[in-house]
Structure formats: structure tokens, C-alpha cells
Amino acid sequence: MDEVRLGVNVDHVATIRQARGTRYPDPVTAAALAESGGADQITIHLREDRRHIQERDLRILRETVQTRLNLEMAATKEMSKIAYEFKPDMVTLVPEKREELTTEGGLDVAMRRDPIKDQVRFLQDGDIHVSLFIDPDIDQIRAAHKVNANAVELHTGAYCEAKSQGVRQQEFGRLVDAAKTCSKIGLPVYAGHGLTLNNLAPVAALLEITEFNIGHSIIARAIFVGMVEAVREMKQAILQARSGQ
């Protein structure tokens, strides 16, 4: 079975902390527990409005994460400079709007090819692996390849949020086509957004996808079973899907 990674996004631990302006719960502690549960990567999104993760979290996590640190961020010069300073193992460039609750769609690489290519080059010059968060769209995949991204992460939101089985099957088909296209052109492919224990299996069974970044559902589950167990359950679900069980 091909190697697969689980990235655990700890943003929503910071969301709870920021709601009251306290020092707890600490996403740094959550990250350590996630690694104890089998996380292969810790993912954080440093938003421009700093609504949850703060520079303090990024600084400490850069020093304490034992696996890999993936920094999601807007495709702006300001954020690229922060990434260049802190040197996460990977940056995932995502679209960002102030009013959204969470990331609503993929990055439009095709429309912003030149500035994104400049940012990709800037980050790679700092020895940072760069992934682009995109919709499962063939044109976006080709654009990501042309800007020399190291990988793409497919936005699984439309599949996860589908209101009917027919729509879900249609969106799953888009994910399959996108993953296969990435594989054909030699572009590593990851996936994330909205994945839960209930909808994960079909996507996790796509062997072309080698990394899953999951946050909200793991943090929600951790409220009832604890962080270590919530991560362990998700990792096991991925491995079972990969093995065809």
C-alpha cells in the first residue's frame, strides 16, 4: 500500500481560545496530542485577520512539531514574507475572504498565473514545499503545473456538502478525474475540506491522493473522545479505505 499522510488542522482549537481571549486551549498542545495519535503533519491557517491562529502559535509550532508543519495562507506578499521568515515545511496557498466562515473554494490559479508563479518561486527559494489549494478542475491543475507548484490539494467541499447522492457521485467523479490527471502529469495530489469519518472512505481509497488535511471534524470528535483518539480513528479510517476494507 502506498504511503499516505494525515495532516491535522488545529485552527479550531485556536478559535475557541480567541472566542474568550484566553491562553487556553492551546493549539500547540493540540498539535502534540495529534502527533501522539498518529498525525503525520500539523496544518495551521494563519489568516490575514488573525481570527484564530496567531504568529505566536506559528513560532512555537515551528520549534515543537516533530512531523511536518504545513502553513495555509493567502497568496499575498505579506504572508509569503512571514512564511519565508518562519520556514514551515510546506505552504499551502489558499483563497481568502474576510467575511467567510471557512475557505469557500479553490484558488484561481488560471486567472492569477503570473503573480502566483512569482510567489511559488519566492517560497521555493526559501526551501519551502508549495502546494496550491484548488477545485478539482483540469484547467486549474494544468495552471498549477505551469507555475511549478510542488503539489496541489483538491478542495473536497463540493463532494462533502452535496445534498443528494446523485450530486455527490458527480462531484466524486470530478475528484477521480482530477486525481488521475495529476498522476499523469507527475503532480503530487492531496485532498481536504469537509472530510469526516462518514464521507471519507471513497476519497481515501483513491491511491493517487497521498495526503489528507482534516481539521473541523477531528476537533469536533475530540470534544467527546479526546484528541489522541480522534486522530487515531481518522488515521485508521484512511488506512482501512486504502486497503479496501
- Catalytic (active-site) positions: 45, 72, 193
What pairs with residue 131 in β-bridges? Answer: 92, 151
Classify residue 7 as exposed, middle or buried by CB count within 10 Å of its CB (0-12, 13-18, 19+).
Answer: buried
Query: Going by C-beta distance under 8 Å and a sequence separation of 6 or more, which residues neighbour residue 238?
Result: 4, 6, 200, 204, 212
**Cα distance between the two ends of the chain:** 13
* Interatomic CA distance for residues 178 and 172, integer angstroms: 10
Q: Pick from 4, 72, 65: which is nearest to 35 by CA? A: 65
DSSP states of 101-116: SS--S---TTTTHHHH
